[in-house]
Amino acid sequence: MKTWIDSLRNEHQLPTQAYKELLTCSDADTIEYLHQQAREVSLSHFNNKIYIRGLIEISNCCKNDCYYCGIRKSNSIVERYRLSKEQILSCCKEGYELGFRTFVMQGGEDRAQSVEWVVEVVKDIRTTYPDCAITLSLGELSYQDYKKLYDAGANRFLLRHETFDSSHYKQLHPDNMSAEHRQQCLRWLKEIGFQTGTGIMVGSPFQTIDNIIDDIQFIYDLKPQMIGIGPFIPHKDTPFAKYNAGSIELTLRLISIFRLMFPSVLIPSTTALASLGNDGRLRGILAGANVVMPNLSPCDNRKKYSLYNNKAALGSEAAEGLALLNDQLKTIGYEISFERGDYSI
């Protein structure tokens, strides 16, 4: 198995069977070897520096009804909010002063925050903070709308494909959503020129190892600049409330596989990983991740952007907890980078 890992590091690709064996392998030494190789690659590309992104959750209103998501349309218990332009700009001001040079605006597909409105917000941020990267994560839009946002000054877009297989996708989403359309959106984003991020939830209900292998293949073909891999975590007020959370170990394994596949890709150690285990964030970094996204949303709103149970948003998960995050990183030999951290080969 170690030969496969060496080959992934050197050739950046493996036959399907080898991925299957890696994902199902129960030998601890082999898995530690995988993580170690991924860590070496990450260190050789980024040194011991971890990029930070300030996450602003701009709205928890959503027209979609994804079965796994706590802010789905049919959840009548969640208290809805949408941030004003002034609130978003004030988050950016606070973030800039703390040292952030990337702002990520994420939200539900909230049509009350029209694309024209988001364009205005992006333009204002671009003018006020010309040295910052603007990342959007606002779901599925038309080619023209993505283009408007890019032309307004947004640089990056995160859109997890969630799962490549269309029948698995159907098990996670209502009929008005499709895997094909989401994948098409990703191709548009790349074509327009966004640094594009995709990814999956690990351990989503009904997911099989073959599904994950399809995801690996899809990501290999897409060649995104960012890859977000986080465990599924149930939310109590969704149809998937009774399902188990995804595995931390499998999530870490995938992070390492993608680090070896794409040495310079940006991989966050996700909030979901941090929410599942106290040391999840650090373990993600030791598996090859090189980005963290502390929460920069107004404190009053953080609890309401509740995608899954017990989502972490305090302490080192919060923008104002950067010093704590840096202390934690130091315990494993890493530190925060205040650079903008664009994708570069």
Binding part of the chain for ligand SAM, among 94-102, 157-165, 324-332, 334-342 by CB under 6 A, reads 157-165
In DSSP terms, which residues pair with 291 in a beta bridge?
51, 268
Among 136, 152, 201, 252, binds ligand SAM (CB under 6 A): 201
Name residues contacting ligand SAM, limited to 25-64 (CB under 6 A).
none
List the structure tokens of 248. 């931390």
Q: Is 135 in the site for ligand SAM (CB under 6 A)?
A: no
Cβ distance to ligand SAM smaller for residue 60 or 316: 60
Among 14, 34, 49, 139, binds ligand SAM (CB under 6 A): 139
Comparing CA positions, the residue from 264, 235, 196, 230 lying closest to residue 51 is: 264
Name the burial class of residue 40, with classes exposed (0-12), middle (13-18) and buried (19+) by CB atoms within 10 angstroms of its CB.
Answer: middle
Minimum CB separation of residue 9 from ligand SAM in Å reads 28
Minimum CB separation of residue 106 from ligand SAM in Å reads 5
Minimum CB separation of residue 66 from ligand SAM in Å reads 7
Comparing CA positions, the residue from 264, 318, 311, 314 lying closest to residue 292 is: 318
Name residues contacting ligand SAM, limited to 270-329 (CB under 6 A).
272, 307-308
Among 160, 168, 173, 259, binds ligand SAM (CB under 6 A): 160
Cβ distance to ligand SAM smaller for residue 100 or 232: 232
What is the per-residue binding string for ligand SAM in 96-125, x denoting contact by CB under 6 A? ----------x-xx----------------
In DSSP terms, which residues pair with 292 in a beta bridge?
52
CB distance 20 to 213 below 8 Å: yes
CB distance 88 to 119 below 8 Å: no
CB distance 159 to 199 below 8 Å: no
Alpha carbons 62 and 131: distance in angstroms, whole number:
31
What is the per-residue binding string for ligand SAM in 212-251, x denoting contact by CB under 6 A? ------------------x-xx-x----------------
Q: Count Cβ atoms below 10 Å from residue 187 Cβ, excluding itself.
A: 12
Q: Is 155 helix (H, G, I), strand (E, B) or coil?
A: coil
What residue type is assigned to position 209 of the chain? I
What residue ranges bind ligand SAM (CB under 6 A)? 68-69, 106, 108-109, 137-139, 159-160, 162, 201, 230, 232-233, 235, 272, 307-308
